[in-house]
Chains A and B, each alone.
Chain A
Amino acid sequence: MTTDNAHQAARDVVLARLRGALGDDPTVPTVPRTYRREGAYAAGSPELVDLLVDRLEDYRATVARTGADDREIGVAVAEALAAQGVRDAIAAPGVPADWLHGIPEHRLDDGSATPRQLDRTGAVVTGSAVAVAETGTIVLDGGPLCGRRAITLVPDTHVVVVRVADVVQTVPEALGRLDPTRPLTFVSGPSATSDIELSRVEGVHGPRTLVVVLAG
Chain B
Amino acid sequence: MSTFLGMPRGRVPGPPADPAVGQLTGDRPFPAAARSALGNSRLRANLAHATSTIRAKRAAVVEEVPDWEALREAGSAIKAATMARLPELLEQLEANVVARGGQVHWARDAAEANAVVTDLVRTTGADEVVKVKSMATAEIGLNEALEAAGITALETDLAELIVQLAGDKPSHILVPAIHRGRAEIREIFAQRMPGVDTGALTDEPAVLAAAARAHLREAFLRARVAVSGANFAVADTGTLTVVESEGNGRMCLTLPQTLITVMGVEKVVPTWSDLEVFLQLLPRSSTGERMNPYTSTWTGVTPGDGPSEFHLVLLDNGRSRALADEAGRSALHCIRCSACLNVCPVYERTGGHAYGSVYPGPIGAVLTPQLTGLTGGDDPNDSLPYASSLCGACYDVCPVKINIPELLVQLRAEHTEAHAEKHRLPTPEAAAMRAAAWVMRDADRFAAAGRAATVARRGIRKGKPVLPLPPPLNGWTASRDVPAPPAETFRDWWSRTRGARS
A and B: interacting chains: yes
Task: Give 1 or 0 for each of A42-70: 1 = CB within 8 Å of chain B CB.
Answer: 00000000000001001100000000000
Whether A21 pairs with B205 at a CB distance below 8 angstroms is no
Q: Which of A20-37 contact B (CB under 8 A)?
A: 20-24, 26-37
The answer on a CB contact under 8 Å between B70 and A34 is yes
- Closest A residue to B80 by beta carbon equals A29
Contact (Cβ within 8 A) A185 B294: yes
A171:B280 contact, CB within 8 angstroms: yes
Q: Which residues of A contact B91 (CB under 8 A)?
A: 15
A201 interface residue (CB < 8 Å to B) = yes
Question: What is the CB-to-nearest-CB distance from A121 to chain B, in angstroms, rounded to a whole number?
Answer: 13
CB < 8 Å neighbour of B74 from A32, A119, A136: A32
Q: Which residues of A contact B78 (CB under 8 A)?
A: 31
Q: With an 8 A cutoff between CB atoms, is B321 at the interface?
A: yes
Structural contact, A195 and B159, CB atoms closer than 8 A: yes
The answer to the question of B126 belonging to the interface, with a C-beta cut-off of 8 Å to chain A, is no
A180 adjacent to B304 (CB under 8 Å): no
Question: CB-CB contacts of B196-213 with A at 8 A, as 1s and 0s?
Answer: 000000000110111011
**Interchain CA distance A188-B280 in the complex, whole Å:** 13
Instruction: Name the residue on B nearest A55 (C-beta).
Output: B290
A84 beta carbon closer than 8 Å to chain B: no
Interface size in chain A (residues, C-beta < 8 A): 78
Chain A residues near B51 (CB-CB < 8 A): 198
Q: Which residues from chain A contact B46 at a C-beta distance below 8 Å?
A: 197
Given known contacts A20-B320, A136-B291, A180 and B250 CB-to-CB distance under 8 angstroms? no
* Stretch binding the partner chain, chosen from B115-123, B142-150, B405-413: B115-123
Report yes or no: A194 in contact with B287, Cβ–Cβ below 8 A.
Answer: yes
Instruction: List which B155-200 residues lie within 8 A (CB) of chain A.
Output: 156-159, 162, 174-175, 177-178, 181-182, 185
How many contacts between A and B, using CB within 8 angstroms? 290
On chain A, the residues within 8 Å of B140 by CB distance are: none
Q: Is the CB of A36 within 8 A of B246?
A: no
Mask, A185-212, CB within 8 Å of B = 1, is 1111111111111111111111100000
Q: Who on chain A is nearest to B50 by CB?
A: A198
Tell me if A188 and B290 are in contact (CB < 8 A). yes
CA distance A194 to B273 in the complex (A): 28
Task: Please choose the segment from A5-13, A71-79, A97-105, A159-167 that sits at the chain B interface, where 4 or more of its residues have CB less than 8 A away.
Answer: A5-13
Given A188-B290, A203-B206, answer yes or no on A26-B237 (Cβ-Cβ < 8 Å).
Answer: no
Contacts of B238 in A (CB 8 A): 181
- Point out the residues of chain B lying under 8 angstroms from A137, CB to CB: 291
The answer on a CB contact under 8 Å between A21 and B14 is: yes
Q: Which of B5-13, B30-38, B479-487 makes up part of the contact surface?
A: B5-13
Cα–Cα, bound, A191→B212 (Å): 13
| A26/B84 in contact, CB under 8 A | yes
Does the CB pair A10–B85 fall under 8 Å?
no
Q: How long is the Cα–Cα vector from A201 to B66 in the complex, in angstroms? A: 28
Residue contact B175 to A195, C-beta cutoff 8 Å: yes
Q: Distance (Å) between the CB of A182 and the closest chain B CB?
A: 7
The answer to whether A192 touches B246, judged by C-beta atoms less than 8 angstroms apart, is yes
Tell me which residues across on chain B come within 8 A of A19, comparing CB atoms. 87
In the complex, what distance in Å separates the CA atom of A42 from the CA atom of B316?
44
A108 at the interface (CB under 8 A from B): no
Q: Contacts A35-B74, A150-B255, A196-B209 known; A204 to B290 CB distance under 8 Å?
A: no
Report the bound CA distance from A115 to B8 in whole Å: 55
Instruction: Choose one: A21, A172, A192, A201; the contact of B11 (CB below 8 Å).
Output: A21
CB of B108 closer than 8 Å to a CB of A: yes
Do residues A196 and B158 form an inter-chain contact, with CB atoms below 8 A?
yes
- With a cutoff of 8 Å between Cβ atoms, the chain B residues found around residue A189 in the complex are 293
Q: Counting chain A CB atoms within 10 Å of each CB, which of B66, B209, B210, B221 scores highest?
A: B209
Q: Are A28 and B73 in contact (CB under 8 A)?
A: no
Query: Residue-by-residue, is B68-94 near A (CB-CB < 8 Å gives 1, otherwise 0)?
Result: 001101100110110111110011000
- Does B273 lie within 8 Å of A14, measured CB to CB? no
> With the chains together, A31 CA to B251 CA distance in Å?
35
A residues with a Cβ closer than 8 A to B are 1-2, 7, 10-11, 13-15, 17-24, 26-37, 55, 58-59, 111, 115-116, 119, 132, 134-137, 142, 148-150, 153-154, 171-172, 175-176, 180-207
Question: 22 A-B Cβ contacts within 8 A?
Answer: A1-B123, A14-B265, A15-B106, A17-B15, A18-B86, A22-B323, A23-B324, A27-B84, A55-B290, A59-B293, A148-B305, A176-B276, A184-B295, A185-B294, A187-B293, A188-B292, A192-B246, A192-B293, A194-B54, A197-B205, A204-B248, A205-B217
